[in-house]
Structure formats: structure tokens, C-alpha cells
Chain A
Amino acid sequence: MSFLQQDVPLSWYLILSAILFSLGVIGFLIKRNLITVFMSIELMLNAVNLSFVTFARQWNEVRGQIFVFFVMMVAAAEAAVGLAIIIAVFRARSTLAVDRINLMKL
């Protein structure tokens, strides 16, 4: 069966990455919960990682994968600090709705 042996064009991976990034942006815009907004940011980071891996494949260059490795490390650090900030905000305001968190001042 030729269908089973068919290769996937790399542009499909890139389009999937673009769609995931757009869904992350939409989530960032419509979500009203601080934690879900943060999850949408993680979704955008993952979408960009997919395009990095795809381009590493296209150019046969392992540095693209190393870039993803560094993005993962930074994202882990960012998640730890971001969630700590969310806990601090919740403690000060007792709410997670972004509409009610409209002042930098505590």
C-alpha cells in the first residue's frame, strides 16, 4: 500500500504549530482565570518548540533541538515562579479572575 509508505511534508508540522500557537493566543484572550491564562502561554511555548524541532529536521542541524532543550528549562523555571506569583496574588486578593486583578498595588 502506497498510503502507508507516504511521507509527511514538513510544512504540515509547521502549520500544526501555527494553529496551536493561534489557539494559545485565543485562550490568552478569552480565558478569565489566571491559571488558565498561564496554561495558554505554555501552549504557545509548546507550539514554538514544535516548529523548532521541525526546522532542526529540515536543516539537519542538532542546534535546533538544543534550543528546544533550553526553552524547556526556562519554561520549567518560569512555571515555578509564575505559579508562586499566582499563589501570592490569590493570597492578597482571594480571587483568580483576571478582571478583578486590575491593580499592581496590593
Chain B
Amino acid sequence: MHLILFFLFAGFCLAGAINLLLQTHPINSALSLIVVMTSLAVLYLLLGAEFLAIAQIIVYAGAVMVLFTFVVMLLNAGREERTLGSRAAWPIGFPAVVAILAVLATILLRAQGLSAARLGEGLTNAPNQSNLVQLSQVLFHQLLLPFEVTSILILIAILGAVALARAEGSQTGAERTAPK
């Protein structure tokens, strides 16, 4: 069962990623990226990371991709002209990609001691705890400060996004709402 689910969703993943490269319209690429992210969520579930699977769907397939599709529609992005990469991509880029993939695959296939993932079995050091309990115990005891610092990061990101996206020299909110 695990094997079938793995091949099914790994196939969806790869098909979505290849479709992302082949499509010329950005909205089609965005939709295939949603397919990739949702199948990755299923793979996380197979690996026993339930919380991350839900977070992947909510944060990535939901929030981030809504932002992407929104920007694609807002900017009315049309078909891109098809090129085969920049001048540096052919002599350096593609051989580098093939080399990296070959080296990684060789290392991974030769690696000793990698176990096998069994279906329905999470992290086994605490079998009676759910994944969420384990995760939050570490997150809120040992990593509380980094967790709180990310909230500041997100606040700064919101402010930065608003400051960047606002048109230069546009009216402020108070002026815009004021009666003429």
C-alpha cells in the first residue's frame, strides 16, 4: 500500500514539476505548482509528519499560491516568449544540474543504514504521543525564542511588502478617503 501511494504521489509530484517547466502561461505553472505541493503533503503524511502535511496544504498550497495567482492576475502576465535559457545556462548551468543530480543519486543509492519507511508508523521514539505533541514539546520548550523571533520577521515582511507594493507618490490612505 505504501509503495502504491508513494509511486502515485511521487508521480504526481514529478508530473507537476515537469508541467511547471513546459507551460508557457504563468497561471498554468502556478496551478501545477499547487499539484506538486499537495502531493508533497501526502508524502509528508506517509513519512509520519501529520502536522507538516496540514501546514504544507494551508501555508504553501493555500496562502503562498493564492498570493502567486493573485499577482499573476493582477499584473495580467501573458504568455512568455519561449527561449532555451540564457547564454550561460547551456555551457555551465545544465551540465552542473546533471552533475549535481548524478552525484546525489550515487551517494543516496550507495548510502548504508538508511531504513525503510513503514506505513502508519511515525517517529518511533515515543510511540504513544502524536506528532503534534512531540513537535510542540520541543518547539515551545527549547526553541521558544526562535519561534517568537519569526513573528517579528513576519511582521517586518508584512510592512516591507506594503511599503514596496504601494505606488510611489500615491496618495496616503487619509487623502484617498477624504471627500473631494
For the complex, count residues of A whose C-beta is within 8 A of B. 73
How far in angstroms is the closest Cβ of chain B from A30? Answer: 5
| Majority DSSP secondary structure for residues of B touching A | helix
Give Cα distance in the complex from A19 to B109, angstroms: 13
Contact (A22, B101) CB under 8 Å given A13-B117, A86-B75:
yes
Give Cα distance in the complex from A83 to B164, angstroms: 9
Contact B83 A32 (CB under 8 A): yes
| Majority DSSP secondary structure for residues of A touching B | helix
Residues of A within 8 A of B168 (CB): 91
Query: Can you spell out 25 A-B residue pairs with CB atoms less than 8 angstroms apart?
Result: A5-B1, A11-B114, A19-B14, A19-B101, A27-B20, A29-B89, A30-B89, A33-B80, A35-B68, A38-B68, A43-B36, A50-B43, A56-B123, A57-B48, A62-B134, A66-B139, A66-B143, A72-B55, A74-B150, A77-B156, A80-B67, A81-B161, A83-B71, A96-B80, A97-B80
